[in-house]
Structure 1
Protein backbone atom coordinates (compact mmCIF):
# COMPACT_ATOMS: atom_id res chain seq x y z
CA UNK A 1 0.00 0.00 0.00
CA UNK A 2 1.09 3.52 -0.61
CA UNK A 3 2.16 5.91 2.15
CA UNK A 4 -0.94 8.06 1.66
CA UNK A 5 -3.22 5.12 2.33
CA UNK A 6 -1.32 4.11 5.48
CA UNK A 7 -1.56 7.67 6.77
CA UNK A 8 -5.28 7.66 6.09
CA UNK A 9 -5.76 4.38 7.94
CA UNK A 10 -3.73 5.60 10.92
CA UNK A 11 -5.73 8.83 11.02
CA UNK A 12 -8.97 6.87 10.91
CA UNK A 13 -7.86 4.61 13.76
CA UNK A 14 -6.91 7.57 15.96
CA UNK A 15 -10.20 9.34 15.26
CA UNK A 16 -12.23 6.17 15.88
CA UNK A 17 -10.43 5.42 19.16
CA UNK A 18 -10.88 9.00 20.33
CA UNK A 19 -14.61 9.02 19.56
CA UNK A 20 -15.17 5.69 21.29
CA UNK A 21 -13.23 6.72 24.40
CA UNK A 22 -15.13 10.02 24.62
CA UNK A 23 -18.45 8.18 24.35
CA UNK A 24 -17.35 5.74 27.05
CA UNK A 25 -16.26 8.56 29.38
CA UNK A 26 -19.58 10.34 28.87
CA UNK A 27 -21.48 7.15 29.62
CA UNK A 28 -23.09 7.05 26.20
CA UNK A 29 -21.79 3.53 25.69
CA UNK A 30 -20.98 1.06 28.42
CA UNK A 31 -18.57 -1.25 26.69
CA UNK A 32 -14.97 -2.12 27.47
CA UNK A 33 -12.01 -0.95 25.41
CA UNK A 34 -11.57 -4.55 24.27
CA UNK A 35 -15.02 -4.48 22.72
CA UNK A 36 -14.26 -1.13 21.14
CA UNK A 37 -11.14 -2.50 19.53
CA UNK A 38 -13.25 -5.28 18.02
CA UNK A 39 -15.38 -2.66 16.32
CA UNK A 40 -12.30 -0.78 15.15
CA UNK A 41 -10.72 -3.89 13.65
CA UNK A 42 -13.95 -4.80 11.87
CA UNK A 43 -14.25 -1.26 10.54
CA UNK A 44 -10.66 -1.39 9.28
CA UNK A 45 -11.37 -4.66 7.46
CA UNK A 46 -14.38 -3.03 5.83
CA UNK A 47 -12.39 0.01 4.71
CA UNK A 48 -9.47 -2.06 3.43
CA UNK A 49 -11.93 -4.21 1.48
CA UNK A 50 -13.45 -1.13 -0.12
CA UNK A 51 -9.99 0.20 -0.96
CA UNK A 52 -8.94 -3.04 -2.67
CA UNK A 53 -12.21 -3.13 -4.61
CA UNK A 54 -11.90 0.51 -5.66
CA UNK A 55 -8.28 0.04 -6.78
CA UNK A 56 -9.40 -2.87 -8.93
CA UNK A 57 -12.16 -0.79 -10.54
CA UNK A 58 -9.88 2.16 -11.28
CA UNK A 59 -7.09 -0.03 -12.63
CA UNK A 60 -4.63 0.69 -9.81
CA UNK A 61 -4.09 -2.91 -8.76
CA UNK A 62 -6.24 -4.20 -5.92
CA UNK A 63 -8.49 -7.26 -6.02
CA UNK A 64 -12.24 -7.40 -6.30
CA UNK A 65 -12.28 -10.88 -4.75
CA UNK A 66 -10.19 -10.06 -1.67
CA UNK A 67 -11.79 -6.63 -1.44
CA UNK A 68 -15.35 -7.92 -1.49
CA UNK A 69 -14.53 -10.69 1.01
CA UNK A 70 -12.96 -8.30 3.52
CA UNK A 71 -15.82 -5.85 3.06
CA UNK A 72 -18.51 -8.50 3.60
CA UNK A 73 -16.64 -10.02 6.54
CA UNK A 74 -16.07 -6.64 8.18
CA UNK A 75 -19.69 -5.55 7.76
CA UNK A 76 -21.01 -8.82 9.20
CA UNK A 77 -18.70 -8.52 12.23
CA UNK A 78 -19.84 -4.93 12.76
CA UNK A 79 -23.48 -6.01 12.62
CA UNK A 80 -22.68 -8.75 15.10
CA UNK A 81 -21.00 -6.28 17.46
CA UNK A 82 -24.12 -4.13 17.60
CA UNK A 83 -26.32 -7.23 18.07
CA UNK A 84 -28.09 -6.95 14.72
CA UNK A 85 -27.11 -10.48 13.67
CA UNK A 86 -25.30 -13.30 15.50
CA UNK A 87 -21.86 -13.09 13.86
CA UNK A 88 -18.36 -12.87 15.35
CA UNK A 89 -14.76 -12.96 14.10
CA UNK A 90 -14.72 -16.73 14.64
CA UNK A 91 -17.64 -17.25 12.25
CA UNK A 92 -15.51 -16.62 9.17
CA UNK A 93 -15.93 -20.24 8.03
CA UNK A 94 -19.63 -19.59 7.56
CA UNK A 95 -18.69 -17.53 4.51
CA UNK A 96 -17.40 -20.55 2.56
CA UNK A 97 -20.36 -20.40 0.07
CA UNK A 98 -18.76 -17.21 -1.28
CA UNK A 99 -16.31 -19.52 -3.05
CA UNK A 100 -19.09 -20.63 -5.40
CA UNK A 101 -19.94 -17.00 -6.13
CA UNK A 102 -16.30 -16.14 -6.86
CA UNK A 103 -15.88 -19.19 -9.09
CA UNK A 104 -19.05 -18.27 -10.97
CA UNK A 105 -17.94 -14.69 -11.51
CA UNK A 106 -14.50 -15.95 -12.51
CA UNK A 107 -16.04 -18.13 -15.23
CA UNK A 108 -18.29 -15.31 -16.42
CA UNK A 109 -15.70 -12.53 -16.37
CA UNK A 110 -12.58 -14.54 -17.03
CA UNK A 111 -11.44 -16.47 -20.05
CA UNK A 112 -9.69 -15.25 -23.11
CA UNK A 113 -10.64 -11.95 -24.63
CA UNK A 114 -9.12 -9.79 -27.30
CA UNK A 115 -6.58 -7.22 -26.16
CA UNK A 116 -7.10 -3.85 -27.77
CA UNK A 117 -4.24 -1.42 -28.00
CA UNK A 118 -5.01 2.05 -29.26
CA UNK A 119 -2.02 3.80 -30.80
CA UNK A 120 -1.44 7.17 -32.39
CA UNK A 121 0.30 7.03 -35.76
CA UNK A 122 2.86 9.81 -35.92
CA UNK A 123 4.69 8.73 -39.08
CA UNK A 124 5.43 11.73 -41.20
CA UNK A 125 4.29 14.10 -38.46
CA UNK A 126 6.10 16.30 -36.03
CA UNK A 127 5.61 13.92 -33.11
CA UNK A 128 3.31 16.22 -31.17
CA UNK A 129 0.56 13.63 -31.04
CA UNK A 130 2.87 11.16 -29.31
CA UNK A 131 3.39 13.63 -26.48
CA UNK A 132 -0.29 14.30 -26.04
CA UNK A 133 -1.69 12.91 -22.83
CA UNK A 134 -4.88 10.91 -22.75
CA UNK A 135 -7.86 12.17 -20.83
CA UNK A 136 -8.54 9.54 -18.19
CA UNK A 137 -11.86 9.16 -16.43
CA UNK A 138 -12.75 6.47 -13.91
CA UNK A 139 -16.31 6.26 -12.62
CA UNK A 140 -18.30 3.63 -10.74
CA UNK A 141 -21.87 4.41 -11.75
CA UNK A 142 -23.16 7.07 -14.11
CA UNK A 143 -24.11 8.06 -17.65
CA UNK A 144 -21.93 10.20 -19.89
CA UNK A 145 -23.05 12.41 -22.77
CA UNK A 146 -20.69 13.83 -25.38
CA UNK A 147 -23.31 15.62 -27.42
CA UNK A 148 -22.73 19.34 -26.88
CA UNK A 149 -22.26 21.58 -29.90
CA UNK A 150 -18.63 21.84 -31.02
CA UNK A 151 -17.32 19.66 -28.20
CA UNK A 152 -13.59 18.97 -28.60
CA UNK A 153 -12.47 15.45 -29.39
CA UNK A 154 -9.23 14.46 -27.68
CA UNK A 155 -7.50 11.18 -26.73
CA UNK A 156 -9.58 9.52 -24.00
CA UNK A 157 -9.40 6.48 -21.72
CA UNK A 158 -12.81 6.02 -20.11
CA UNK A 159 -13.65 3.42 -17.46
CA UNK A 160 -17.03 2.72 -15.90
CA UNK A 161 -18.70 -0.05 -13.89
CA UNK A 162 -22.36 0.64 -14.66
CA UNK A 163 -23.50 3.35 -17.03
CA UNK A 164 -24.14 4.44 -20.61
CA UNK A 165 -22.03 6.46 -23.04
CA UNK A 166 -23.40 8.54 -25.91
CA UNK A 167 -20.98 10.12 -28.39
CA UNK A 168 -22.25 12.42 -31.15
CA UNK A 169 -19.25 13.13 -33.36
CA UNK A 170 -21.41 15.02 -35.87
CA UNK A 171 -21.42 17.91 -33.39
CA UNK A 172 -17.77 17.62 -32.41
CA UNK A 173 -14.61 19.49 -33.32
CA UNK A 174 -12.23 16.76 -34.51
CA UNK A 175 -8.57 17.77 -34.93
CA UNK A 176 -6.43 16.90 -37.97
CA UNK A 177 -4.73 13.91 -36.37
CA UNK A 178 -5.26 10.32 -35.29
CA UNK A 179 -7.31 10.53 -32.07
CA UNK A 180 -7.46 7.32 -29.96
CA UNK A 181 -10.51 6.66 -27.78
CA UNK A 182 -10.78 3.72 -25.38
CA UNK A 183 -13.98 2.86 -23.50
CA UNK A 184 -14.28 0.01 -21.00
CA UNK A 185 -17.17 -0.93 -18.73
CA UNK A 186 -18.89 -3.77 -16.92
CA UNK A 187 -22.50 -3.09 -17.83
CA UNK A 188 -24.15 -0.47 -20.00
CA UNK A 189 -24.82 0.75 -23.52
CA UNK A 190 -22.41 2.63 -25.76
CA UNK A 191 -23.73 4.60 -28.73
CA UNK A 192 -21.68 6.53 -31.29
CA UNK A 193 -22.88 8.69 -34.15
CA UNK A 194 -20.30 9.34 -36.88
CA UNK A 195 -20.40 12.05 -39.56
CA UNK A 196 -20.48 10.94 -43.19
CA UNK A 197 -16.95 11.93 -44.22
CA UNK A 198 -15.03 10.97 -41.06
CA UNK A 199 -12.52 8.13 -41.33
CA UNK A 200 -12.39 5.77 -38.35
CA UNK A 201 -11.53 2.30 -37.12
CA UNK A 202 -13.41 0.47 -34.36
CA UNK A 203 -12.57 -2.67 -32.39
CA UNK A 204 -15.58 -3.68 -30.27
CA UNK A 205 -15.82 -6.58 -27.82
CA UNK A 206 -18.70 -7.60 -25.56
CA UNK A 207 -18.68 -10.52 -23.14
CA UNK A 208 -22.45 -10.86 -23.29
CA UNK A 209 -24.63 -8.62 -25.42
CA UNK A 210 -25.04 -7.06 -28.85
CA UNK A 211 -22.78 -5.18 -31.27
CA UNK A 212 -24.04 -3.20 -34.25
CA UNK A 213 -21.59 -1.20 -36.37
CA UNK A 214 -23.09 0.43 -39.47
CA UNK A 215 -25.51 -2.44 -39.88
CA UNK A 216 -22.96 -5.17 -39.15
CA UNK A 217 -24.56 -6.98 -36.22
CA UNK A 218 -23.71 -9.78 -33.85
CA UNK A 219 -25.04 -10.90 -30.47
CA UNK A 220 -24.36 -13.55 -27.87
CA UNK A 221 -21.32 -14.45 -25.76
CA UNK A 222 -17.74 -13.27 -26.43
CA UNK A 223 -18.56 -11.26 -29.55
CA UNK A 224 -16.07 -9.12 -31.45
CA UNK A 225 -16.59 -6.79 -34.41
CA UNK A 226 -13.89 -4.87 -36.24
CA UNK A 227 -14.61 -2.14 -38.76
CA UNK A 228 -12.44 0.25 -40.72
CA UNK A 229 -13.56 2.86 -43.23
CA UNK A 230 -11.99 2.61 -46.72
CA UNK A 231 -9.93 5.78 -46.35
CA UNK A 232 -8.75 5.22 -42.78
CA UNK A 233 -5.14 4.25 -43.57
CA UNK A 234 -4.45 7.37 -45.65
CA UNK A 235 -6.42 9.85 -43.55
CA UNK A 236 -4.74 12.39 -41.28
CA UNK A 237 -8.02 13.24 -39.53
CA UNK A 238 -9.40 10.03 -38.09
CA UNK A 239 -10.59 8.21 -34.96
CA UNK A 240 -9.19 4.96 -33.57
CA UNK A 241 -11.74 3.49 -31.16
CA UNK A 242 -11.55 0.47 -28.82
CA UNK A 243 -14.66 -0.56 -26.88
CA UNK A 244 -14.88 -3.36 -24.33
CA UNK A 245 -17.95 -4.33 -22.28
CA UNK A 246 -18.74 -7.20 -19.95
CA UNK A 247 -22.47 -6.93 -20.60
CA UNK A 248 -24.43 -4.50 -22.73
CA UNK A 249 -24.94 -3.13 -26.21
CA UNK A 250 -22.57 -1.32 -28.56
CA UNK A 251 -24.02 0.61 -31.49
CA UNK A 252 -22.29 2.79 -34.09
CA UNK A 253 -24.23 4.65 -36.79
CA UNK A 254 -23.34 7.14 -39.51
CA UNK A 255 -25.31 10.11 -40.85
Structure 2
Protein backbone atom coordinates (compact mmCIF):
# COMPACT_ATOMS: atom_id res chain seq x y z
CA UNK A 1 0.00 0.00 0.00
CA UNK A 2 1.28 3.46 -0.87
CA UNK A 3 2.24 5.78 1.96
CA UNK A 4 0.24 9.04 2.05
CA UNK A 5 3.43 11.00 1.46
CA UNK A 6 4.34 8.97 -1.64
CA UNK A 7 0.81 9.32 -3.02
CA UNK A 8 0.92 13.08 -2.51
CA UNK A 9 4.29 13.32 -4.27
CA UNK A 10 3.00 11.26 -7.19
CA UNK A 11 -0.10 13.44 -7.54
CA UNK A 12 2.08 16.56 -7.50
CA UNK A 13 4.26 14.98 -10.20
CA UNK A 14 1.25 14.32 -12.45
CA UNK A 15 -0.17 17.77 -11.76
CA UNK A 16 3.06 19.52 -12.76
CA UNK A 17 3.39 17.48 -15.97
CA UNK A 18 -0.26 18.05 -16.84
CA UNK A 19 -0.01 21.79 -16.23
CA UNK A 20 3.15 21.98 -18.33
CA UNK A 21 1.55 20.09 -21.23
CA UNK A 22 -1.56 22.28 -21.02
CA UNK A 23 0.48 25.49 -21.18
CA UNK A 24 2.59 24.15 -24.05
CA UNK A 25 -0.37 22.93 -26.12
CA UNK A 26 -2.31 26.10 -25.34
CA UNK A 27 0.57 28.15 -26.72
CA UNK A 28 0.87 25.99 -29.84
CA UNK A 29 -2.77 25.24 -30.60
CA UNK A 30 -5.05 27.48 -28.58
CA UNK A 31 -7.83 26.57 -26.15
CA UNK A 32 -10.50 26.15 -28.85
CA UNK A 33 -8.43 23.68 -30.83
CA UNK A 34 -7.55 21.73 -27.68
CA UNK A 35 -11.21 21.44 -26.71
CA UNK A 36 -12.12 20.37 -30.26
CA UNK A 37 -9.42 17.69 -30.33
CA UNK A 38 -10.51 16.45 -26.91
CA UNK A 39 -14.12 16.11 -28.10
CA UNK A 40 -13.06 14.35 -31.30
CA UNK A 41 -10.88 11.94 -29.33
CA UNK A 42 -13.63 11.30 -26.78
CA UNK A 43 -16.14 10.72 -29.58
CA UNK A 44 -13.87 8.17 -31.26
CA UNK A 45 -13.32 6.46 -27.90
CA UNK A 46 -17.07 6.24 -27.27
CA UNK A 47 -17.66 4.78 -30.73
CA UNK A 48 -14.88 2.23 -30.44
CA UNK A 49 -15.67 1.13 -26.87
CA UNK A 50 -19.46 1.00 -26.79
CA UNK A 51 -20.85 2.25 -30.10
CA UNK A 52 -22.84 4.85 -28.15
CA UNK A 53 -24.63 7.42 -30.30
CA UNK A 54 -23.21 10.14 -28.05
CA UNK A 55 -19.93 9.37 -29.80
CA UNK A 56 -21.33 10.74 -33.07
CA UNK A 57 -22.51 13.88 -31.26
CA UNK A 58 -19.12 14.47 -29.64
CA UNK A 59 -17.34 13.81 -32.93
CA UNK A 60 -19.62 16.22 -34.79
CA UNK A 61 -19.32 19.00 -32.20
CA UNK A 62 -15.55 18.60 -32.12
CA UNK A 63 -15.29 18.83 -35.89
CA UNK A 64 -17.52 21.93 -35.96
CA UNK A 65 -15.33 23.67 -33.37
CA UNK A 66 -12.22 22.52 -35.21
CA UNK A 67 -13.57 23.93 -38.47
CA UNK A 68 -14.20 27.30 -36.83
CA UNK A 69 -10.72 27.39 -35.30
CA UNK A 70 -8.75 25.80 -38.13
CA UNK A 71 -10.61 26.02 -41.42
CA UNK A 72 -7.50 25.26 -43.48
CA UNK A 73 -6.81 22.10 -41.47
CA UNK A 74 -10.37 20.86 -41.85
CA UNK A 75 -10.37 21.72 -45.55
CA UNK A 76 -7.21 19.66 -45.93
CA UNK A 77 -8.82 16.74 -44.11
CA UNK A 78 -11.86 17.08 -46.36
CA UNK A 79 -9.73 17.00 -49.50
CA UNK A 80 -7.91 13.93 -48.21
CA UNK A 81 -11.28 12.27 -47.58
CA UNK A 82 -12.49 13.08 -51.09
CA UNK A 83 -9.22 11.71 -52.48
CA UNK A 84 -9.70 8.48 -50.53
CA UNK A 85 -13.28 8.29 -51.79
CA UNK A 86 -12.28 8.56 -55.44
CA UNK A 87 -9.38 6.16 -54.91
CA UNK A 88 -11.73 3.57 -53.48
CA UNK A 89 -14.17 4.14 -56.32
CA UNK A 90 -11.47 3.42 -58.88
CA UNK A 91 -10.37 0.25 -57.08
CA UNK A 92 -13.84 -1.15 -56.52
CA UNK A 93 -14.92 -0.33 -60.07
CA UNK A 94 -12.54 -3.01 -61.34
CA UNK A 95 -14.60 -5.64 -59.51
CA UNK A 96 -17.29 -5.48 -62.20
CA UNK A 97 -15.29 -4.10 -65.12
CA UNK A 98 -15.81 -7.21 -67.29
CA UNK A 99 -19.60 -7.34 -66.92
CA UNK A 100 -22.39 -5.16 -68.27
CA UNK A 101 -22.78 -2.77 -65.36
CA UNK A 102 -25.32 -0.25 -64.17
CA UNK A 103 -23.21 2.71 -63.03
CA UNK A 104 -24.23 5.77 -61.07
CA UNK A 105 -21.94 8.50 -59.72
CA UNK A 106 -23.34 11.38 -57.72
CA UNK A 107 -22.70 13.58 -54.68
CA UNK A 108 -25.95 13.18 -52.72
CA UNK A 109 -28.51 10.52 -53.56
CA UNK A 110 -31.27 8.32 -52.15
CA UNK A 111 -31.70 5.10 -54.12
CA UNK A 112 -34.49 2.61 -53.51
CA UNK A 113 -34.92 -0.72 -55.28
CA UNK A 114 -38.03 -2.02 -53.55
CA UNK A 115 -41.04 -1.05 -55.65
CA UNK A 116 -42.46 -4.10 -57.40
CA UNK A 117 -40.42 -6.60 -59.44
CA UNK A 118 -37.09 -5.17 -60.63
CA UNK A 119 -34.04 -6.48 -62.49
CA UNK A 120 -30.85 -6.97 -60.47
CA UNK A 121 -27.73 -6.60 -62.58
CA UNK A 122 -24.08 -5.99 -61.77
CA UNK A 123 -24.02 -2.49 -60.30
CA UNK A 124 -21.46 0.15 -59.33
CA UNK A 125 -22.74 3.10 -57.28
CA UNK A 126 -20.44 5.91 -56.12
CA UNK A 127 -21.99 8.57 -53.89
CA UNK A 128 -20.36 10.98 -51.45
CA UNK A 129 -23.39 11.02 -49.14
CA UNK A 130 -26.24 8.67 -49.82
CA UNK A 131 -28.90 6.20 -48.84
CA UNK A 132 -29.42 2.80 -50.49
CA UNK A 133 -32.37 0.47 -49.91
CA UNK A 134 -32.45 -2.87 -51.78
CA UNK A 135 -35.16 -5.52 -51.40
CA UNK A 136 -33.91 -8.62 -53.20
CA UNK A 137 -37.09 -10.57 -52.46
CA UNK A 138 -38.57 -8.64 -55.41
CA UNK A 139 -35.48 -8.86 -57.64
CA UNK A 140 -35.13 -10.82 -60.88
CA UNK A 141 -31.48 -11.74 -61.45
CA UNK A 142 -30.12 -10.77 -64.86
CA UNK A 143 -27.39 -13.43 -64.48
CA UNK A 144 -26.86 -16.33 -62.06
CA UNK A 145 -24.21 -14.27 -60.26
CA UNK A 146 -24.06 -10.48 -59.94
CA UNK A 147 -21.81 -8.07 -58.05
CA UNK A 148 -23.04 -4.87 -56.40
CA UNK A 149 -20.33 -2.33 -55.49
CA UNK A 150 -21.32 0.69 -53.39
CA UNK A 151 -18.79 3.28 -52.19
CA UNK A 152 -18.78 6.75 -50.65
CA UNK A 153 -17.96 8.88 -47.63
CA UNK A 154 -21.19 8.66 -45.60
CA UNK A 155 -23.92 6.11 -46.24
CA UNK A 156 -27.03 4.42 -44.88
CA UNK A 157 -27.43 0.93 -46.36
CA UNK A 158 -30.50 -1.31 -45.92
CA UNK A 159 -30.52 -4.76 -47.52
CA UNK A 160 -33.38 -7.27 -47.48
CA UNK A 161 -32.23 -10.68 -48.72
CA UNK A 162 -34.22 -13.86 -49.48
CA UNK A 163 -33.04 -16.97 -47.67
CA UNK A 164 -32.60 -19.05 -50.84
CA UNK A 165 -30.12 -16.63 -52.48
CA UNK A 166 -26.39 -17.11 -51.96
CA UNK A 167 -24.90 -13.93 -50.52
CA UNK A 168 -21.40 -12.61 -49.92
CA UNK A 169 -20.97 -9.25 -48.16
CA UNK A 170 -17.64 -7.44 -47.90
CA UNK A 171 -17.72 -4.28 -45.76
CA UNK A 172 -14.84 -1.82 -45.52
CA UNK A 173 -16.00 0.84 -43.06
CA UNK A 174 -13.95 3.11 -40.80
CA UNK A 175 -16.69 4.35 -38.44
CA UNK A 176 -20.26 3.15 -38.11
CA UNK A 177 -22.42 0.15 -37.32
CA UNK A 178 -23.34 -3.20 -38.85
CA UNK A 179 -26.60 -4.85 -37.82
CA UNK A 180 -27.06 -8.22 -39.49
CA UNK A 181 -28.05 -11.78 -38.51
CA UNK A 182 -24.46 -12.90 -38.94
CA UNK A 183 -22.80 -10.01 -37.12
CA UNK A 184 -23.50 -6.96 -34.98
CA UNK A 185 -20.73 -4.42 -34.51
CA UNK A 186 -20.35 -0.68 -34.03
CA UNK A 187 -17.71 1.95 -33.46
CA UNK A 188 -14.39 1.85 -35.26
CA UNK A 189 -14.72 -0.94 -37.81
CA UNK A 190 -12.44 -2.51 -40.36
CA UNK A 191 -12.89 -4.94 -43.21
CA UNK A 192 -15.56 -7.58 -42.57
CA UNK A 193 -16.41 -10.43 -44.95
CA UNK A 194 -19.34 -12.84 -44.63
CA UNK A 195 -20.57 -15.57 -46.97
CA UNK A 196 -23.83 -17.48 -46.58
CA UNK A 197 -23.53 -21.29 -46.23
CA UNK A 198 -25.46 -21.84 -49.49
CA UNK A 199 -23.35 -19.43 -51.57
CA UNK A 200 -21.59 -22.19 -53.53
CA UNK A 201 -24.73 -24.21 -54.26
CA UNK A 202 -27.42 -21.56 -54.75
CA UNK A 203 -28.95 -21.02 -58.20
CA UNK A 204 -28.67 -17.24 -57.69
CA UNK A 205 -25.73 -15.48 -56.05
CA UNK A 206 -24.97 -11.84 -55.25
CA UNK A 207 -21.77 -10.25 -53.97
CA UNK A 208 -21.97 -6.92 -52.12
CA UNK A 209 -18.84 -4.78 -51.80
CA UNK A 210 -19.49 -1.83 -49.45
CA UNK A 211 -16.76 0.77 -48.97
CA UNK A 212 -17.38 3.83 -46.75
CA UNK A 213 -15.66 6.10 -44.26
CA UNK A 214 -18.83 6.37 -42.13
CA UNK A 215 -21.83 4.09 -42.63
CA UNK A 216 -24.77 2.35 -41.01
CA UNK A 217 -25.46 -1.06 -42.57
CA UNK A 218 -28.64 -3.04 -41.81
CA UNK A 219 -29.13 -6.52 -43.28
CA UNK A 220 -32.26 -8.65 -42.94
CA UNK A 221 -32.70 -12.18 -44.28
CA UNK A 222 -36.29 -13.32 -44.94
Which TM-score applies when normalising by structure 2?
0.58
Report the structure, 1 or 2, having the larger strand content: 2
The Cα shift of 1:232 comes to 1.3
Report the structure, 1 or 2, having the larger helix content: 2
The answer for the alignment partner of 1:101 in structure 2 is 74
1:243 corresponds to 2:210? yes
The answer for the alignment partner of 2:20 in structure 1 is none
The Cα shift of 1:142 comes to 2.1
Matches within 5 A, 1:30-179: 97-105=70-78, 119=95, 130=98, 132-179=99-146
Structure 1 gaps of 5+ residues are 1-96, 121-128
Contact map agreement 2:103 2:124 (CA 8 A) in 1: yes
User: Which of 174, 184, 195 is matched with 1:228 structurally?
Assistant: 195
Contact map agreement 1:117 1:242 (CA 8 A) in 2: no
- Distance, in Å, in 1 between the alignment partners of 2:101 and 2:114 is 20
Contact map agreement 2:114 2:138 (CA 8 A) in 1: yes
The answer for the alignment partner of 1:38 in structure 2 is none
Structure 2 gaps of 5+ residues are 1-69
Contact map agreement 1:161 1:186 (CA 8 A) in 2: yes
- Distance, in Å, in 1 between the alignment partners of 2:201 and 2:171 is 22
3-state DSSP class of the match of 2:109?
coil
- Distance, in Å, in 1 between the alignment partners of 2:142 and 2:149 is 17
The Cα shift of 1:233 comes to 2.6
The Cα shift of 1:101 comes to 1.6
- Distance, in Å, in 1 between the alignment partners of 2:95 and 2:156 is 24
- Distance, in Å, in 2 between the alignment partners of 1:221 and 1:229 is 24
The Cα shift of 1:175 comes to 3.6
- Distance, in Å, in 2 between the alignment partners of 1:201 and 1:135 is 19
Deviations 1:33-90 (A, max 9, x none): xxxxxxxxxxxxxxxxxxxxxxxxxxxxxxxxxxxxxxxxxxxxxxxxxxxxxxxxxx
1:199 corresponds to 2:172? no
The Cα shift of 1:219 comes to 1.1
The answer for the alignment partner of 1:214 in structure 2 is 181
Contact map agreement 1:118 1:180 (CA 8 A) in 2: no
Residues 142 and 117 (structure 1), Cα distance of their counterparts in 2 relative to 1, 3 Å cut: closer
Which TM-score applies when normalising by structure 1?
0.51
Contact map agreement 2:165 2:202 (CA 8 A) in 1: no
Q: With CA pairs under 8 Å and 6+ residues apart, which has the higher RCO, 1 or 2?
A: 2
Contact map agreement 1:176 1:236 (CA 8 A) in 2: no
